[in-house]
Structure 1
Amino acid sequence: MRAPGAAAAAPARRGRLRVADRVYARIADQAVREVLAEVWAGRSVKGAPPHVSVAVPGSTVRVRVAVELPFPADLAGLARGLRERVGAQVAGLTGTRVSEVVVVVEKLVTGGAW
């Protein structure tokens, strides 16, 4: 709350919010883990944990996600789902535009029920 009689400062004079790179990475990592939990559900063999890295050039965020995915599966669909969930969660929680989400499939894991 503002003190009585105090005028609101113009947005440029109030300062700005800086979100740490590790915050973007944690949000993206959580989004990836949510998607992968659905993908690996019901399988006896699971892939390694994902690796997420971010770059914040200016006012946008670029995310790189390295994952292991089950095979056989709709790999293009899984990658699209990962890109959409990561982009939506990072933008939704931070208000920062996500310019790119790159999904790198490091390994295809066979075995387990599908």
Structure 2
Amino acid sequence: MTPVSNGAGELRGPLAVVAPGDRGANRITDRVVSKIASQAAREALGVLPAAATAPHATVVVHHGSVRIRVHLDLAYPADIGARCAEVRRHVALRVRALVGMEVPEVAVHVERLHLTPAHGAAQGRTR
């Protein structure tokens, strides 16, 4: 152990080494995990339709794992299943990477579908 300076040029006693188990722990709140999941969903969706609301997430954290529910709007027509799968995959990867928790479930709820401008002009049946 080496002596430590107190900033004024004086030396104090040696620095005590604290065992990793005695140092404490970090607690990441549900709100932080929810914000990370919401941002990850925005990243996965890319550009949103003009009238769409931003994705938001609710989470349940329990013993080092998190279950996530993402609510979002999608452009239509699109492959809804593929878009939801991409959101599910990206949210799970980002939360696992940034928070270090297991993500056994990401449920995606599509709140609204927004017609894209090219498809919004046609009304009713066309021949």
- Tell me the TM-score range normalised by the shorter chain: 0.7 to 0.9
Which residue of the partner structure matches residue 69 of structure 2? 64
The runs of at least 4 consecutive aligned structure 1 residues that moved more than 6 Å come to none
Which residue of the partner structure matches residue 12 of structure 1? 21
The 2-side partners of 1:85 and 1:5 are apart by 43
User: Which secondary structure state, in structure 1, belongs to the residue aligned with residue 67 of structure 2?
Assistant: strand
Aligned length: 108
Deviation at 1:113, TM superposition (A): 3.9
Deviation at 1:93, TM superposition (A): 0.7
Q: How does 1:6-45 map to 2 (within 5 A)?
A: 6-9=16-19, 11-38=20-47, 40=48, 45=50
Deviation at 1:35, TM superposition (A): 1.9
The structure richer in strand per residue is 2
User: Which secondary structure state, in structure 1, belongs to the residue aligned with residue 25 of structure 2?
Assistant: coil
**What is the aligned-residue RMSD (CA, Å)?**
2.1
Question: Which residue type is aligned with residue 24 of structure 2?
Answer: G
Deviation at 1:47, TM superposition (A): 1.8
The 1-side partners of 2:59 and 2:27 are apart by 15
When Rg is computed on C-alpha atoms for both structures, the one with the higher figure is 2
Query: More deviation in 60-69 or 47-56?
Result: 47-56
TM-score normalised per structure 2 = 0.74
